[in-house]
Amino acid sequence: MAEERRQKQCSVVLPTESMKAMAESVGVGQLQEESCVALSEEVSYRIKEIAQDALKFMHHGKRRKLTTSDIDNALKLKNVEPLYGFQSQEFIPFRFASGGGRELHFYEEKEVDLSDIINTPLPRVPLDVSLKAHWLSIEGVQPAIPENPPPAPKEQQKTESTEPLKLVKPGQEEESTIQGKNQGATAADGKGQYLEKGLMRLKPRSTHELSVEQQLYYKEITEACVGSCEAKRAEALQSIATDPGLYQMLPRFSTFISEGVRVNVVQNNLALLIYLMRMVKALMDNPTLYLEKYLHELIPAVVTCIVSKQLCLRPDVDNHWALRDFAARLMAQSCKTFSTTTNNIQSRITKTFTKSWLDDKTQWTTRYGCIAGLSELGPDVIKTLILPRLAVEGARIKAVMEGPVVSNIDKIGADHVQSLLLKHCASVIAKTRPLPDNVEQYRTDYGYLGPMLCSHVVKARTQAALQAQQVNRTTLTITQPRPTLSVSQSGLSGSGGPRTPSIIKVPSSLTLMSPRPGTPSQPSPPATKYIVMATSAGAASTQQFKFILCTFWCYDIFLIHSGGKKSFLHHKLGNYLANFSYAVIYSCVRVPTPQLLPPHCLICTAFCPCTNRLYGCFIQHLL
């Protein structure tokens, strides 16, 4: 025991200058050096004595922190009048000052204007002490409820996955207590069994048997996550993101997600893929879970959603781009969290993306995914990997856009890749490239994309300046607790990053998707009947937010009233609107017959927290 770490016994004595300062403060001008030394030794000793007594009060007060009241009580013990007016709950706001060769710690007391105190409203009364009961353990097993700490703390999950052979630290052997009932399992873990050194080196076996409640929960959650009811899904995702007791179910969830992606990619079921990615996000958001052990299942699933050639039935119409963006963001997040020198996730992922991007035969969709995945990894990656290839990529886009007959799908793909490149590269260039922004210079540097890039950079620069200006402007931000996947401006020609929430932008133009190259089975939208227009909600609120129109809504609404295939419609709505809250879809469906609508009628609104915008859909009845 003696060799245990021992604290250095300190024999610190207050400096004699303090004595002088104190003497001066009570009016004793000249204090001799010897008196100062004697005083300081005496005072230091008394202070230590009082501190030691105060510790007793702390222990009996069942606290870890020494408070001023402990000192007061210790003073009382010595029959010394305690100090009054030094009540401080948490910390003592001593300030430090030096000057004139002196160093002082002092207690800052501001002058308070009494009228200020009188005029300020009374603060909230602190809550009274109350008693709350919960189950810490039920017949030896700790229930996973929010009142209890998570069964396996995140640090422990981390050490388990990164250093599986390391001993479980004392005070953290929850695992062993869970297994306390199955006696056989306890031998492998626990800390004190140095007799069985060989056994101890084994990785602790963890039970993965789920209780009936857990099985039910798992069933409910997975069903809700991929079901049709958006409210339930939101609830389920919320539960995944916050519940502390999911550690045991984590392997199931990860398998569910990876299998789900595998199946739905083949079936091109975009909606389900989106739901599954949202599950991944929720799992990653859960502060009590450490996903490292399950990345081998999750990463392939996420990467699939980024780079798969086809993710939906109709690549020309469906907004699979949003899914790719979202998944790319997830990927970047997990790289940030879990990349270590041993697993090298980030570099491996980067290599994968780069390799398929560099391949000439890669489809535009995959190309888009690769670029999105890379650019989410941060400005450094953009700078080193994407910027040098801008010219090459620009040439490729040019070939599609201006070249001879190509399929429409390629054109859309190229268009998206172009806007993606512009979006990500512009912000990086704006930060790194010195002024001035010369179009010709850009063209020589970046080729075909140069001029567009130039204008984007200029825009980005002005925005940055504007942003700096507008810091003080009051902005209304509506926050919503659940982050949801955003299908951002699919129909709009991208005008800068949608993820700069404080900047309000008016879409420069509205490109209607219809008339689209319709497949024969679909009724073509009678554009004459309804005009969808973007309108601001009212004069007062124009400063705060704009309604941004999503053209396809109109089309779908039309379908409702034209008695189109409802099931199909519903499915499509789900696809398009997966990012919006559930209310949107249903309010769309619940639109009364067009004839009952007044001329300017707001039929639905949706708030997208990712872009911090309110989307609205207006229908003007022309008849």
Helix (H) or strand (E) holding 561: helix 551-561
Contact between 84 and another protein by CB under 8 A: the answer reads no
Q: Is residue 251 within 8 Å of residue 207, measured between CB atoms?
A: no
As measured in angstroms, the least distance from the Cβ of 153 to another protein is: 8
Handedness of CA 11, 14, 15, 19 (dihedral sign): negative
Q: Which of 309, 385, 396 shows the shortest CA–CA distance to 353?
A: 385
Nearer to another protein (CB atom), residue 180 or residue 491:
180
Which has the closest alpha carbon to 504: 549, 542, 560, 451?
Answer: 542
Q: SS3 of 414, please? A: helix
Name the nearest CA neighbour of 412 among 327, 312, 505, 506: 312
Instruction: Answer yes or no whether residue 355 interacts with another protein by CB under 8 A.
Output: no
Q: Are 204 and 188 in contact (CB under 8 A)?
A: yes
Asked if residue 623 binds another protein (CB under 8 A), the reply is: no
Nearest-approach distance from CB 206 to another protein, in angstroms: 16
Residue selected from 81, 116, 139, 402 as contacting another protein according to rule CB under 8 A: 139
Cα(490)–Cα(487) distance, rounded to whole angstroms?
Answer: 7
C-beta closer to another protein: residue 63 or 219:
63
In the bound state with another protein, the residue whose beta carbon lies nearer, of 181 and 219, is 181
**Span of 116-124, 130-138, 285-293, 614-622 interacting with another protein by CB under 8 A:** 130-138
**CA 51, CA 43: separation in Å to the nearest integer?**
12
410 binds another protein (CB under 8 A): no
Cα–Cα nearest to 537, from 580, 611, 600: 600
Rounded distance between C-alpha atoms, residue 246 and residue 449, angstroms? 48
* Residue 237 CB, nearest approach to another protein (Å): 24
Q: How far is the CB of 545 from another protein (least distance, A)?
A: 36
> Looking at beta carbons only, is 146 or 518 nearer to another protein?
146
Stretch that binds another protein, among 3-11, 255-263, 397-405, 613-621 (CB under 8 A): 3-11
Instruction: Supply 456's token pair.
Output: 């984007």
Binds another protein by CB under 8 A, chosen from 49, 259, 359, 440: 49
Separation in Å, CA 260 to CA 113, 271, 273 = 66, 12, 8
Length of the chain: 623
What sections of 377-433 are H helices per DSSP? 379-381, 390-402, 408-432
Per CB under 8 A, contacts with another protein among 197-256 are: none
Please report the DSSP string for 147-211 in residue order.
Answer: TSPPSS-HHHHHHHHH-TTSPPPTT-THHHHHGGGSHHHHTTS-SS-GGGHHHHTSPPP---PPP
Nearer to another protein, 182 or 407 (CB): 182
Choice between 137 and 467, CB closer to another protein: 137
Size of the site for another protein (CB under 8 A): 61
State both tokens at 385: 């990997």
Interface segment toward another protein; rule CB under 8 A; list 66-74, 160-168, 250-258, 284-292: 66-74
Among residues 406, 423, 306, the alpha carbon closest in space to that of 365 is found at: 306
Q: Is 174 in the site for another protein (CB under 8 A)?
A: yes
Least distance (Å) between residue 85 CB and another protein: 18
Q: Which of 39, 156, 168, 173 binds another protein (CB under 8 A)?
A: 173
| Nearest distance, CB of residue 252 and another protein, angstroms | 24
Q: 63 or 566: whose CB is closer to another protein?
A: 63
- Give the per-residue contact string, 261-280, with another protein (x = CB under 8 A; - = no): --------------------
Least separation, in Å, of the C-beta of 287 and another protein?
13
45 touches another protein (CB under 8 A) = yes
Binding site for another protein (CB under 8 A): 1-2, 4, 6-7, 9-11, 41-42, 44-45, 48-49, 52, 56-57, 59-65, 67, 69, 73, 76-77, 89, 126-140, 142, 147-149, 170-171, 173-174, 176-177, 180-181, 190-193
